[in-house]
Structure 1
Amino acid sequence: MASDIEIRTRPPIEEFFKDLTLTLKGKTKHILRCVLGKLSPGHVSAVLGPSGAGKTIFLSVLIGKAVGCTVTRVILINGKPELVQSYMKIICFLPQDDIVHKNLIVQKNP
């Protein structure tokens, strides 16, 4: 029966972002300002910084889940301007306090 299983592969997704700016609503204070970057398929990306540096806010803006603020950005998915929300079923980020089970392992598909 194992030969009857079809393995579907997802196309690689590259996300390029520029002019990523987040401003508090009703304020002129910028939390993020003119951030530029790229997330490439096949590479591990990490966001590092001290507590309160804006790491979670940055990731929330990238996936379109920032609330209570004004966000401006240019995001290209595979070189085309697309909504990140259309990829929400296959992308996410895990917060640092996420529960990870010790029995889970990473496997490479054949």
Structure 2
Amino acid sequence: MELPVKAPPVSGAQKTSYRLETKNLSYKLCSKLDELDFICCGGAPRRSPRFILRDVNCAASPGEITAIAGPSGAGKTTLLEILSGKISPRKVSGQVLVNSQPMNARHFRRISGYVTQDDSLFPLLTVKETLLYSALLRLPGGKKDAANRAWTQHQLFM
């Protein structure tokens, strides 16, 4: 089965497209001891920092399928956690841009979804029921709005 290159159109709904981009994105691992030494003593870390990501430049455009590949420990999950706003932008150097503007992580988490590697679906719920449950937890507006949103998302995947 071949995957579609473009997302199917949603009838009656005007959707905003988003282009996600990184410029010179770096993230380094800093131990709690190094942070404490820097804050309390004003000194530099004792050993050179270990970079998880260094100068990463990438882009994901609307309607395209984008793959992130690499060996175990290469930083794929860390990159996705930064892009999804799970890692604070204050801990990252470089830029994460949404439609050429700096990403507002809080807003972006509300308009995007992040599917982890581990199965996070409830085994006794259907996909639609899982989407409805998530929408009820995350969206204001009550059950009717959540049901409409879950149905729209369900239609995209079916």
Q: What TM-score comes out, normalization by structure 2 length? A: 0.53
Task: Write the mapping of 1:1-110 to structure 2, written as runs, cut at 5 A.
Answer: 7-25=12-30, 26=34, 28-66=49-87, 70-99=91-120, 104=127, 107-108=155-156
Structure 1 residues 72 and 98, CA, compared in 2 at 3 Å: closer, same or farther? same
RMSD of aligned alpha carbons: 3.0
Determine the C-alpha separation between the residues in 2 that align with 1:73 and 1:9. 32
Letter in 1 for 2:105: V
Which one scores higher on RCO, CA 8 angstroms, separation ≥ 6?
1
How many percent identity over aligned positions?
A: 32
Determine the C-alpha separation between the residues in 1 that align with 2:120 and 2:28. 31
Determine the C-alpha separation between the residues in 1 that align with 2:13 and 2:110. 15
Structure 1 residues 85 and 52, CA, compared in 2 at 3 Å: closer, same or farther? same
Larger Rg: 2
Secondary structure of 1:97's aligned partner:
coil
Unaligned runs of 5+ in 2: 1-10, 35-44, 129-153
The structural deviation recorded for 1:74 is 1.1
Q: What TM-score comes out, normalization by structure 1 length? A: 0.72
Structure 1 residues 87 and 37, CA, compared in 2 at 3 Å: closer, same or farther? same
Determine the C-alpha separation between the residues in 2 that align with 1:55 and 1:46. 10
Unaligned runs of 5+ in 1: 1-5
Higher helix share: 2
Higher strand share: 1
Judge conservation of contact 1:63–1:85 (CA < 8 Å) in 2.
Answer: no
Match of 2:133 in 1: none
